Chains A and B, each alone.
Chain A
Amino acid sequence: MNRLYGPLDDVAGDAGHVEHPPRVGFFTDTSVCIGCKACEVACKEWNAVPEDGLDLLGMSFDNTGMLGADSWRHVAFVEQARVTGRQDPGFAGLPTGPSGIPETAGAVEARLEAAPRGGSELGTEPLPPGRPEPQALGMPGFDRPGDLTGAEGRTDFRWLMASDVCKHCTHAGCLDVCPTGALFRTEFGTVVVQQDICNGCGYCVSGCPYGVIDRRQHDGRANKCTLCYDRIGDGLEPACAKACPTDSIQFGELDELRERADRRLAQLHDLGVGEARLYGRDPDDGVGGDGAFFLLLDEPEVYGLPPDPHVPTRDAPAMWKRAGQAAAAFLLAGVAAFVAGGRR
């Protein structure tokens, strides 16, 4: 039994569900995502999640910013000066100068730093209206106008899109620290928060290694993806997966999804996309594997995902052990003090 960390074959059983359906989850294959955001809209429509702010973030086509109480799906858009596998981005031979990505990232970063909550309210508060001064950087002189190809001319480019969601961890940090029982493990092995029980203490927010769960501003209660608990109980797939036109978001039994993901990964590697990798698929990772896992085309940090997430309870035995040792030592020291004092 791995109650606190590591692989766990029967999460629902472990949570006390005697007879229960197989564990379900999402496999999000970001290599076929077209960034339509239908998942975000379908999720909000089905779950009546409120609007999350009408502000242009300047982060490519991402105006949601991040997952939060009012955004249970979030499509990240990443413009990068590199290529995917054998994809031809088509910019070779054009009269280009250096990439604009560092400048745009800088402009967004300056605004993020000015955001009062350090960016966690992205999509909920308008960003400061500051307008950085236009910078006329000028162009180096060349014989032909615009003839800037060569060392500094940008050629490599790709545009990554990925729909993020609650991971429904095998060992869910949010659930483990919830003092009220508002968060619970369903018979499908998913993790759901019950708003009518939540007291808004916010422990779950710091307990989530992915920064997913969040409290709603107006009532302080925790909110996150339920994996459409009310739909899957009726044999329907979650709203986001249903709406996804390209099957980037795939819903199903977790064991089958993992096999499917392995096949897709092998296929992409065969096609020369060596950078493809699975994220959250490994039951030996810091959360015992995710119920919602991903196929990524770059390091997780690129998509705003933590590289090595682990559930806080993973360290609990060691912490308790150390605490116990410390307590024992303290006790021993106290006793010794008395003993020593007694001799005086």
Chain B
Amino acid sequence: MGSNMAEAHPVGFQWVMEAKARGARVIHIDPRFTRTSAVADTYVPIRAGSDIAFLGGVIRYVLDNDLDFREYVAAYTNASFLVREDFADTEDLDGLFSGYDPDTGTYDRDSWFYEGTEPPRDDDGDRAKTFSEPFQAGASGAGIDRAAEAERDPTLQHPRCVFQVLKRHFARYTPEMVERVCGTPQEEFLEVCRAWTAHSNRDRTTALVYSVGWTQHSVGAQYIRAGAILQLLLGNIGRPGGGVFALRGHASIQGSTDIPTLFNLLPGYLAMPNVSHTDLDAWIADQRTGGHKGYGYDVDAYMVSLLKEYFGDAATPENDFGFGWLPRIDGDHGTYRTVMDMIDGKVSGYFVLGQNPAVGSAHGKLQRLGMANLDWLVVRDLNEIETATFWRDSPEIETGEIVPERCRTEVFLMPAASHVEKEGTFTQTQRMLQWRTKAVEPTGDRRSELWFAYHLGRLVRERLAGSTQERDEPILKLAWDYVTEGEGVWVEPSADDVLRRINGHDLTTGDLLPSYLGLKADGSTSCGCWIYSGVYADGVNQAARRKPHTEQGPYDAEWGWTWPMNRRVLYNRASADPEGRPWSERKKLVWWDADEGAWTGHDIPDFPRTTPPGHRPPDDATGPAALSGDDPFVMQPDGKAWLFAPHGLLDGPLPTHYEPHESPVRNPLYRQQGNPTRKVYGRPDNPSNPAPPEHGSEVFPYVLTAARLTEHHTAGGMSRQLPYLSELQPALFVEVSPELARERGLAHLGDAHVVTSRAAVQARVVVTDRLAPLRVDDRVVHQVWLPYHFGHTGLVSGDVVNDLFGVVQDSNVFIQESKVATCDVRPGPRPRGPALRALLDEVRAAAGITVETGTRIATSHGVPHTEEGS
């Protein structure tokens, strides 16, 4: 669901085909019939942007028919916890939860807490929505003070227990409602329900796969929550063959979130400090809560070890280990905000490494206009991509919005070495690090990222040497002493040395650490990323292991290395029952060995090794020692999986179907139309298509979605330059159903243009039975699809599909809604130059679009959220 795995992840899909060959049933739920659907047993159509309604329907089916894995649910989730009396559900408030403030578009989340627990001191939804705070809680779980002491009803009967709250919340997500919202015929939907539940029990597990078809929505985080709730109810988490699989979009994008390039995270999902964190203790206090269970409590050791790695000997207990040298978040510095800040003249320079925002980011025009208003721009890539050439060949040249002679941005294009021209690790979807050796020397001026970062740091430090300015101190204090290879000035830093530093050292002995369990908060250990600690255990590059599967057991533990601690299945304590026995022989993974007094099994147990199943911790315990023997979710502050999230999300404790920001239909479930906390940027350069109950939505009657083809790679920088790939998909096309083709007079292989309030994109028409109209709330809704790989450079070119999308975001993690919008499709080529601007002016006028359109995020209140001065 939300994934076209066969096309976007063909190599990983071999395992789906392997499972199918062994008798697994494969179901594909997607807006279009794709190459994944072609080999699935069942294809189920769905309207883009309605997945929560679908999943909510399955949840209701499970609860209504008592098909949940009750022992698992009662013991391992927070189903029995009581929610506060003043909590009000979307059923009570017509699509809003209690605590909503229409002026800020955020929730006061106090009423969502467990009965008997205290909300944190300074919970500020408004600030959280600016700083993206909930995401930072990823590693240690959102804090709930004394959560383990919350009132519970083990019988799950209390009207305010999470289980009953869940039942009420999804009571109206009936098969009829699913059909109305999603357009999925009831029989198809019920078939999915039957298959999912029939294969989820002691002996059977069901795996759920998603990709960016789920994440890139204004309710993105809640899509994932809905999938997780369902898999928890069915006992499919922590067990072999179960799980929620987040397929990542690039070779090492998992690695780049583990050791992140995000503004609000430090390595290992540690929260980036914000302006309220005056010292290390303040930061630690903010990560912890009373009675905090599990490994999230030990953030002090992780952070101090990270600081020791960053600053080396300069980090001492006396100077707070250099905590003061870390940057502080003082506002929204997400990628889209930053681009708008460029347009507004607040940003002067930009590094773009391995990314092509001029094509690959939502609202390509906004990206290009932002980059055209910089002093300098550094682009590192394999080819001269659109992000480096926008100033001379972007669509804005034709329309006169960018004039090359007057574009002041100085562009530095740095040629990058490809993955075969450098060594290092890739971290793939399964959290597995795999070491890659260099196959060939890079040609010409191509250099590795390590080389670039190392020498950039070296040169900046040389320039700053001797500076007494406080702002330069963090750079000068960095331990920039990596092992290098080769002779002369332009040496290559050793990737092996970097991996060793990521693994971490015992600074008293100089030994490599065996795992994160040995990290200390006293400055005696260093570690570049706590979850990666152990990748160099025993002085062996564990990521480089390549033992064939024919020579080892079913979990192939000696192939590569999976974080944390080479564990293949997270939370695998849940594969055993509360007494520590496997739920079934067929699905055994880890279990309690009473004779040994330890957990054992086929995988590395994800639990304190010697904590027995019946263990009850003392009241004053914290951290791993506070875990009960039946608390499998060792990163949650209460040890339990959260069906209901009392904290940590800004848009609600439970997933709720909201229509996408741009939708052709009124929300059939609630008065509240869209996510009431979504981040909108009401600016003239970021218009929205109207959605009901606003007027004018009929100007953009179709649902637009975009995705990938197997033959190209994302924004095309790695594929449109290659003849062997370009010839396989040589042109931008738009897929339409035969029904829409007839309605709009579109001819197969003819030209058409797709129009939104942002852009018009020209594409060849491909009429196909693989798309079908849906009946949504008693009207027919057509969906159109385009691949987003094309741009204006390379062997094959085409308009930038991402220009069609605007910028609107999920409030939790700032993901943009680029998987669904509304549009019109018109036959023939699009107008060019000034005529294009005239067309866009015309459609905006026809739809009555103003800067306020789409920004009244609370349907009942009508408060527009536009930017000041707009």
Contacts and interface: CB of A to CB of B under 8 A. Distances in A.
Interface of A: 32-38, 40-41, 44-45, 50-56, 58, 60-61, 63-64, 79, 81, 86-101, 103-104, 107-108, 111, 123, 131-139, 144-148, 154, 157-161, 245-247
Nearest to B711: A37
Given A35-B710, A89-B43, A100 B13 contact: no
Interface of B: 6-7, 10-11, 13-14, 17, 21, 33, 35-45, 183, 185-188, 191, 709-711, 723-731, 733, 737-739, 741-743, 745-751, 764, 766-770, 772-775, 778-780, 795-796, 827
Contacts of B725: 41
Given A35-B710, A161-B35, 9 more contacts: A51-B727, A55-B730, A63-B728, A88-B191, A90-B45, A91-B45, A94-B774, A100-B737, A131-B751
A53 B795 CA distance: 11
Given A139-B742, A159-B38, A104 B730 contact: no
A269 B728 CA distance: 33
Contacts of B183: 94
A64 to B, nearest CB: 7
Most buried by B among A52, A60, A86, A104: A104
Contact of B727 (A34, A63, A134): A63
A199 to B, nearest CB: 29
23 contacts: A34-B35, A34-B36, A34-B38, A36-B35, A51-B726, A51-B727, A55-B730, A56-B764, A61-B35, A63-B729, A79-B768, A79-B769, A79-B770, A88-B188, A93-B185, A135-B742, A139-B743, A144-B778, A145-B779, A154-B769, A159-B37, A159-B770, A246-B13
A98 B738 contact: yes
Given A56-B730, A246-B17, A88 B42 contact: yes
Contacts of A50: 723
Nearest to A33: B39
A263 to B, nearest CB: 12
B549 to A, nearest CB: 15
A138 B795 CA distance: 39
A159 B780 contact: no
Contacts of A33: 39
Most buried by A among B35, B710, B749: B749
Contacts of B724: 40-41, 44-45, 51
B41 A88 contact: yes
Contacts, number: 207
B773 A94 contact: yes
A108 to B, nearest CB: 7
B775 A95 contact: yes
A131 B750 contact: yes
A123 B775 CA distance: 39
Contacts of A138: 742
B283 to A, nearest CB: 45
Contacts of B764: 56, 58
Q: Give the 3 A-B residue pairs with the shortest CB-CB distance, closest first.
A: A100-B738, A146-B780, A93-B185
A288 to B, nearest CB: 31
B14 A88 contact: no
Contacts of A56: 730-731, 733, 749, 764
Given A41-B724, A56-B733, A63-B730, A87 B42 contact: yes
Contacts of A79: 768-770
B711 A133 contact: no
A79 B738 CA distance: 13
Given A32-B39, A90-B188, A107 B749 contact: yes
Contacts of A246: 10, 13-14, 17
Contacts of B40: 87
A111 B827 CA distance: 19
Contact of A134 (B6, B14, B739, B746): B746
Nearest to A136: B745
